[in-house]
Amino acid sequence: MTVFWKPWQNIFSICLVLCTTAVLSAQFQLQPLNSTVQQGSDARFIATVQGNWQIMTWTVRQIMVLTIPAGGNTTSFSPQFSARFCSSGNTSCVEFTIHNVTRRESGPVICTMLGEYGSKTAQLHVEESGTVNIMEGNMTVIQDQEVKFQCVATAWFPTPTISWTRNGQAINSNLYNTTSMADGDSFNSTSVLTFQAISNTTVECQATVQTLTKPQSSSVFLVVVPKPPNWTVLIAVVVSFGGFALLILLIIGLIFCYKRRKKKQPNYQDEMR
């Protein structure tokens, strides 16, 4: 009897351990586990818990910033951190908010429950949108001249994606070059656009990062004035025409002289005879 039951007992106890672990980890969830937000906005995390719990704490920047007892008032380290039950009186869902996020809050956000629930860690990424400016400002050029615009994006994190438009149409990326460099804990990017001026154009430079819904932009006007009549070409034409006419005259003159000499020659021979 015992010989038969031993393996069954072992399987049963293994199952018990596995199943309880699975159930326990399913009882407490944190979402999102990876969050990217704009600096200055609010970052929200949701903890959902099954079963009765007593105390939940939230840790940001290695500092415990907030404590929520299931049945009491929330204690916050600063007004930047707040928490509430997703629906009042229902402790199974807690929403934790970091208001006006700065780059300093980037990193792990840890939710810890007192007791066997343990803790869960989410990663917070904070993006920063800086400024963007076309350095040249409005420009006036002569038709067909090559124009160059330089767009400078300052104080971005991470490096912004820079694009250009001409009269609202995206410009082919092989017409511009973008370089970025770190400036302390953010980035400056410079993009140089070159093209041939054909007609009056609105040129816009746009910079964006993943979380920006509308890119930052800077735009300028390019006024193209028609080419003035090209005097050098005209002079060259006149001069070459003049030269050609002179050459023709010279040739005619030479032929004339030759003919006269040819006529004169027999006369001379006649005289000799």
- Point out which residues bind ligand NAG (CB under 6 A): 34, 36, 40, 72-73, 90, 92-93, 100, 102, 125, 137-138, 154, 175-177, 181, 183, 188, 192, 194, 199-200, 221, 223-225
Task: Look at residues 155, 157, 166, 162 and name the one whose alpha carbon lies nearest to residue 178.
Answer: 162
Cβ(143)–Cβ(214) below 8 Å: no
- The residue among 11 and 135 lying less far from ligand NAG, judged by its C-beta, is 135
Phi, psi of 56 (to 5 degrees): -120, 140
Shortest distance (Å) from residue 112 CB to ligand NAG: 20
- Token reading at 134: 């076309």
Shortest distance (Å) from residue 234 CB to ligand NAG: 22
- The β-bridge relationship of strands 146-156 and 34-38 is unpaired
- Token reading at 170: 């995206």
Name the amino acid, one letter, at 20: T
Q: How far is CA 254 from CA 97, 248, 250, in A?
A: 102, 10, 6
Shortest distance (Å) from residue 61 CB to ligand NAG: 14
- The residue among 125 and 166 lying less far from ligand NAG, judged by its C-beta, is 125
Shortest distance (Å) from residue 169 CB to ligand NAG: 17
Shortest distance (Å) from residue 126 CB to ligand NAG: 10
Q: How far is CA 215 from CA 36, 48, 161, 164, 166, in A?
A: 16, 35, 9, 11, 16
Phi, psi of 248 (to 5 degrees): -60, -50
Shortest distance (Å) from residue 35 CB to ligand NAG: 8
Distance of CA 190 to the CA centre of its chain: 12
Q: What is the per-residue DSSP string for 60-113?
A: ETTEEEEEEETTS--EESSTTEEEEEEETTEEEEEEEEE-S--GGG-EEEEEEE
- The residue among 73 and 169 lying less far from ligand NAG, judged by its C-beta, is 73
Shortest distance (Å) from residue 64 CB to ligand NAG: 19
- The residue among 58 and 124 lying less far from ligand NAG, judged by its C-beta, is 124
End-to-end, the C-alpha distance of the chain in Å comes to 163
- The residue among 33 and 237 lying less far from ligand NAG, judged by its C-beta, is 33
- The residue among 34 and 267 lying less far from ligand NAG, judged by its C-beta, is 34
- The residue among 26 and 249 lying less far from ligand NAG, judged by its C-beta, is 26
